[in-house]
């Protein structure tokens, strides 16, 4: 369901600095300095309401997390969660995945999470999918030598498409599952969408891709 744009959302969001980073391009190649440590940096592309990334940040204080989200209404919810939990290992970018090159230097990231992204179902829209090989090539550049992508979706067609894209782009795949909740890993964190799908008994597809 598409959220209605609420008056005052932008102003409320801009008041939450930090953890919102207003000029992320200024930190290109300098994110460890921003966080004040040398901990690895994990990013979620499309945070939604922020349940996933704020839970990870709370559970893993030795990791730095960045949430990227384009829609200000849902981004505001995620930023508020981080503020309420007093998390100091998380930052948020109000931006577009297509601008990642402007935000991060080569090999600056250790892990990328892609959760329930838009499947762009029509064939002519394939290049818009976040697991299209054009995006994968850019992720590869931004990830360090041990970098990984963790991908989850409820869309079977998108998952099959993604598998082929990862294989063709020479990623090493592991922990592939066609029904995550038949045997969920202990460290699995569910997004808001994921909880809804789980309640309906819908299968969740997941994989991990390692940079080679």
Distance between CA atoms of residues 42 and 109, nearest Å: 6
Q: Which two tokens stand for residue 74?
A: 């849902």
Question: Is residue 179 flagged as an active site residue?
Answer: no
Cis peptide before 19 (omega within 30 of 0): yes
DSSP assignment, residue 20?
B
Interacting residues of 103 by C-beta distance below 8 A, sequence separation 6+ = 24, 25, 27, 28, 68, 93, 95
| Active-site choice (118, 157, 168, 179) | 118
Tell me the chain's radius of gyration from C-alpha atoms: 17
Q: How many helices (H) and strands (E) does the chain have?
A: 8, 7
Q: Which residues are catalytic?
A: 118
């Amino acid at each position: 369901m598409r959220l209605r744009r609420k008056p005052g959302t932008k102003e409320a969001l801009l008041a939450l600095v930090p953890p919102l980073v207003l000029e992320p391009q200024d930190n290109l190649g300098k994110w460890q300095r921003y966080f004040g440590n040398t901990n690895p940096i994990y990013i979620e592309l499309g945070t939604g309401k922020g349940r996933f990334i704020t839970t990870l940040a709370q559970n893993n204080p030795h990791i730095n997390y960045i949430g990227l989200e384009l829609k200000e209404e849902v981004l505001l919810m995620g930023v508020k969660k981080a503020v309420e939990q007093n998390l100091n290992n998380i930052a948020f970018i109000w931006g577009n995945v297509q601008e990642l090159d402007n935000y991060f230097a080569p090999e600056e990231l250790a892990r990328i999470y892609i959760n329930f992204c838009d499947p762009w179902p029509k064939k002519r829209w394939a290049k818009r999918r976040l697991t299209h090989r054009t995006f994968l090539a850019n992720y590869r550049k931004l990830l360090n030598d041990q970098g990984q992508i963790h991908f989850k979706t409820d869309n079977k067609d998108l998952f099959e498409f993604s598998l082929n894209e990862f294989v063709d782009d020479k990623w090493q795949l592991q922990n592939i599952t066609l029904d995550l909740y038949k045997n969920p890993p202990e460290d699995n964190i569910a997004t808001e969408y994921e909880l809804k799908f789980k309640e309906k008994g819908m299968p969740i597809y997941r994989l991990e891709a390692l940079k080679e």
